[in-house]
């Protein structure tokens, strides 16, 4: 019996997602990795602020981490359709393990610099682009079609479990040291080890991450990229969703930095309480991940999408008006709650209508166009913080989201 037949037999024996060994290995490894990423998500801006005192530099650092979306998403999608997806994911997390681990080593040697941090952020962002595209393209091969929405919802839960515990764990780890700089190094060590755990979990997965394909003459990379873009453009709802998600990502990308700057400045919130505030996004995200499949089965596509954007506007307004920690927690919690609901609705639709051999390219085309706005949003947000202040920038974000939601309502999404 060949490998393909083994995989088919194993898939046929799977009765539920809970008994899918390979999915649980993938999911558990990513849970640890995402927790580590959220620990360093708090550590990175705190380290840059400690080194430079500049919110703009912290914004640029976030932009550098997000820049690979814009630079590599399109070729990455075509390449993960060519390459062995599992090996690609292992190499990506191996590279991130080494990159993150180099920061505390440099600190111990007395050579931490902004240039080094920029390079590490870029490597981490690049690894994430290739890894996430390979993972999402492989998901239909790891789980049964009827389990796809729930499996992707669990992936979202993983992201927000990390968001729930990561900032608090990061704050606890950073507080173990007498100085913020030293504490952030401990957080980088934690994140580095989490990528190693992910590599080990991937090595134990048996199922193939792509279908076997007949040997064919390989076309130029740009032609394969264009095929994914053409498919995306010919889907009317996906065209609208690309534009809407691009705007939403641009507007929301600087929010975490704004909260950190407000907490360390006018609100005078300590690191431990800041970690608790940021964890509210994880609480909301975990809840959203569990209710997303239920809502997707009961509400119309367009109502979920436009309703999410309007509620995001309300959450940003709450953050702008926040005079206290509880209102900050409410605003961030609502923001986190809506992302898995929006994401599960959008991604399961996209995965369900995309042919298997185009999964990487279509997903990468969508991410290039929609996530590519995040670096620009982070940079612009960081630049506006100094002259305008965090509260004014949040008001602008709330206004932009409200206009986007209203505009989306008057497209074909209303009837979708």
DSSP 24-74: HHHHHHHHHHHHHHHHHHHHHHHHHHHHH--HHHHHHHHHHHHHHHHHHHH
Tokens 């400690």 -> residue: 50
Residue-wise burial string across 57-72, b where 16 or more C-beta atoms lie within 10 A, e elsewhere: bbbbbbbbbbbbbbbb
Q: Which domain holds residue 407?
A: 11-208+221-415
Tokens 């996430």 -> residue: 132
> pLDDT higher for 145 or 260?
260
Are the C-beta atoms of 275 and 45 separated by less than 8 Å?
no
Give tens-digit pLDDT for 361-406: 887 888 787 877 887 888 888 889 888 888 899 999 999 999 999 9
Q: Which two tokens stand for residue 125?
A: 């962002």
Query: Does some domain include residue 215?
Result: no
Are the C-beta atoms of 397 and 251 separated by less than 8 Å?
yes
- At residue 5, the pLDDT reads 46
CA atoms within 13 A on the CB side of 384: 19
- Domain count for the chain, please give it: 1
- At residue 10, the pLDDT reads 47
Q: CA–CA separation, 190 vs 212, rounded Å? A: 37
- At residue 289, the pLDDT reads 80
pLDDT surpasses 50 at 320: yes
Are the C-beta atoms of 340 and 156 separated by less than 8 Å?
yes
User: What is the crossing angle of helices 221-233 and 236-252, to 10°?
Assistant: 100
pLDDT surpasses 90 at 111: no
- Average pLDDT, stretch 302-325? 89
Query: Does some domain include residue 230?
Result: yes
pLDDT surpasses 60 at 314: yes
Are the C-beta atoms of 158 and 35 separated by less than 8 Å?
no
Average pLDDT, the chain: 83
- At residue 196, the pLDDT reads 93
Are the C-beta atoms of 330 and 318 separated by less than 8 Å?
yes
- At residue 1, the pLDDT reads 45
pLDDT surpasses 50 at 2: no
Q: CA–CA separation, 183 vs 192, rounded Å? A: 15
Q: CA–CA separation, 164 vs 17, rounded Å? A: 24
Using CA atoms, how far residue 192 sits from 49, 99, 367, in Å, is 21, 8, 25
Query: Does some domain include residue 2?
Result: no
Residue (of 375, 357, 409) closest to 71 by Cα position: 375
Q: Helix or strand or coil: residue 73?
A: helix
Q: CA–CA separation, 127 vs 135, rounded Å? A: 12
Q: CA–CA separation, 80 vs 213, rounded Å? A: 14
User: What are residue 350's phi and psi, to 5 degrees?
Assistant: -65, -45
- The CATH number assigned to the domain holding 396 equals 1.20.1250.20
> pLDDT higher for 151 or 301?
301
pTM of this prediction? 0.69
Could you tell me the pLDDT band of residue 214, with boundaries at 50, 70 and 90?
low
Query: Does some domain include residue 17?
Result: yes
Q: What angle do CA 278, 281, 287 make, to 5 degrees?
A: 150
> pLDDT higher for 202 or 271?
202
Residue 414 is given by DSSP the state: G
**What is the sign of the dihedral through the CA atoms of 413, 315, 247 and 166?**
negative
Are the C-beta atoms of 80 and 137 separated by less than 8 Å?
yes
Query: Does some domain include residue 1?
Result: no
> Dihedral, CA atoms, 207, 213, 219, 221, nearest 10 degrees?
-10
Q: CA–CA separation, 165 vs 278, rounded Å? A: 9
- At residue 213, the pLDDT reads 59
- At residue 8, the pLDDT reads 46
- At residue 4, the pLDDT reads 43
Least confident of 214-223, 313-322, 332-341: 214-223
How many residues would you count in the chain? 416
| Percentage of the chain modeled with pLDDT above 90 | 24
Query: Does some domain include residue 214?
Result: no
pLDDT surpasses 80 at 44: yes
Give tens-digit pLDDT for 61-104: 888 887 887 788 788 888 887 888 899 999 999 999 999 999 99
- At residue 232, the pLDDT reads 85
Query: Does some domain include residue 216?
Result: no
pLDDT surpasses 90 at 270: no
- At residue 359, the pLDDT reads 78
Q: What angle do CA 226, 230, 236 make, to 5 degrees?
A: 155
Query: Does some domain include residue 56?
Result: yes
């Amino acid at each position: 019996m060949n490998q393909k037949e083994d995989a088919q037999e194993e898939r046929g024996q799977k009765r539920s997602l809970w008994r899918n060994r390979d999915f649980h290995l993938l999911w558990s490894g990513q849970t640890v990795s995402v927790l580590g990423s959220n620990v360093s998500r708090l550590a990175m801006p705190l380290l840059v602020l400690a080194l430079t005192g500049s919110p703009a530099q912290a914004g640029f650092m976030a932009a550098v981490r997000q820049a690979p979306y814009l630079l590599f998403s399109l070729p990455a999608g075509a390449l993960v359709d060519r390459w062995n997806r599992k090996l690609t994911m292992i190499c990506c997390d191996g590279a991130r393990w080494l990159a993150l681990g180099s920061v505390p080593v440099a600190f111990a040697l007395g050579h931490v610099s902004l240039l080094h941090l920029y390079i590490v952020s870029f490597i981490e962002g690049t690894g994430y682009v290739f890894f996430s595209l390979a993972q999402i393209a492989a998901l239909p091969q790891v789980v049964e079609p009827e389990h796809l929405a729930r499996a992707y919802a669990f992936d979202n839960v993983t992201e927000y479990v990390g968001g729930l515990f990561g900032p608090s764990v990061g704050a606890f780890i950073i507080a173990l040291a007498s100085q913020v700089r030293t504490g952030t190094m401990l957080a980088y060590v934690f994140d580095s080890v989490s990528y190693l755990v992910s590599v080990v979990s991937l090595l134990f997965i048996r199922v193939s991450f792509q279908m076997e394909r007949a040997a064919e003459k390989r076309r130029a990379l740009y032609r394969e990229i264009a095929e994914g873009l053409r498919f995306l453009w010919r889907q009317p709802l996906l065209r609208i969703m690309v534009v809407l998600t691009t705007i939403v990502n641009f507007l929301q990308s600087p929010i975490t930095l704004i909260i950190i700057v407000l907490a360390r400045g006018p609100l005078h919130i300590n690191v431990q309480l800041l970690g608790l505030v940021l964890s509210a996004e994880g609480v909301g995200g975990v809840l959203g991940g569990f209710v997303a499949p239920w809502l997707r089965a009961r509400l119309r596509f367009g109502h979920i999408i436009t309703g999410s954007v309007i509620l995001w506007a309300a959450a940003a307004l709450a953050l702008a008006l926040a005079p206290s920690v509880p209102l900050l927690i409410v605003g961030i919690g609502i923001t986190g709650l809506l992302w898995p609901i929006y994401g599960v609705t959008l991604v399961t639709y996209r995965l369900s209508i995309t042919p298997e051999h185009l999964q990487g390219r279509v997903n990468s085309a969508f991410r290039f166009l929609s996530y590519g706005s995040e670096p620009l949003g982070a940079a612009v947000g960081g630049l506006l913080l100094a002259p305008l202040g965090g509260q004014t920038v949040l008001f602008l974000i709330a206004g932009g989201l409200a206009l986007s939601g209203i505009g989306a309502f008057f497209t074909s999404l209303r009837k979708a």
